[in-house]
Amino acid sequence: MAAVAQRCPRCHEGPLFTHSALNLTKFADMPEACPVCGQAYEPEPGFYWGAMYISFAFSTGIMLVVGFAVYFLLNDPATWVYIVSVAVASLLLTPLSLRYSRTLMLYWFGGVHYDPSRARTIRS
């Protein structure tokens, strides 16, 4: 799926981000437009503010999963163990969470539809 691979919503080929998720200073950098089909990646100024809400949902999910994992795997340890585990997991997953919240924002609310004729390669 193109959203999972963080590709352009119109041609499903151009990358949405210019650098790797592991690049700590540039993981959020996006090109202004798709290098393959020219689709603008920011439909309107401030478009990605809405991605914060998707990001909140990801954070909540991460907290719940980590919280339950700590509870069951470590047999309900002291409170600070929960706090440290959730903080570390949230921090490590920040690049992924941010990138996927922007990707979903563009796919769900960007008003862009998949157009196979925009792709470089013709698929049947």
Q: Which residues bind Zn ion (CB under 5 A)?
A: 8, 10-11, 14, 34, 36-37, 39
CA dihedral 121, 101, 113, 120 (to 10 degrees): -10
Amino acid at 123: R
In whole angstroms, the minimum distance from the beta carbon of 21 to Zn ion comes to 20
Rounded Cα–Cα distance for residues 83 and 21 (Å)? 25
Query: Closer CB to Zn ion, residue 37 or residue 106?
Result: 37
Name the maximum alpha-carbon separation found in the chain: 57
Nearer CB in complex with Zn ion: 14/95: 14
Q: Which is nearer to Zn ion, 40 or 96 (CB)?
A: 40
Find the shortest distance in angstroms from Cβ 29 to Zn ion: 17
